Structure 1
């Protein structure tokens, strides 16, 4: 829906735009009620918003916000894997499905090429 909205706004030459934001693990007030201390892997809300604003200033449509554990490289690989879920008609989020866990682990290794799904 966001892709279509962005296309429509661009086509209409609207003075606003739409962007697709996917945040990493973000420590928020809501999470703090279950986890009183911020996990090392999580970014703060301020860090997440700062990344969003920076990427908006660059004009990015797809904005993947890493956290303190998942690198941009891993994010890109996970997106490539998810696109292959659609192409191969695998189960949603197949990277967590027992039938695909081993294959995904091999794919996600840093020495793998993103294009080879």
Structure 2
């Protein structure tokens, strides 16, 4: 069975400007992938999420590959930033995020 993830957009207008924000809604058991990043000396990943997800957000370079990070998350209605160590080889890689318990909205991620 496949879970379909949704992409949401929010438009905010004010002070003569318009800003557009987007995020991906990740259901329990679903995998969301982003391609491709030229990884160089990355040792940490941060994610900005909200939702009912709890436990760990798992990150890998393939849909069935070895995890390169596990990010502890907690249920929260507001956007929160979570950070975890990341062990990933330098080079061009895809990143896949898997959430096993609950659902989250993934607003952004940062590699450092």
TM bin, normalised by shorter chain, reads under 0.3
Q: Which has the higher helix share?
A: 1
* Bigger RCO of structures 1 and 2 (CA < 8 A, at least 6 apart): 2
TM-score (norm 2): 0.23
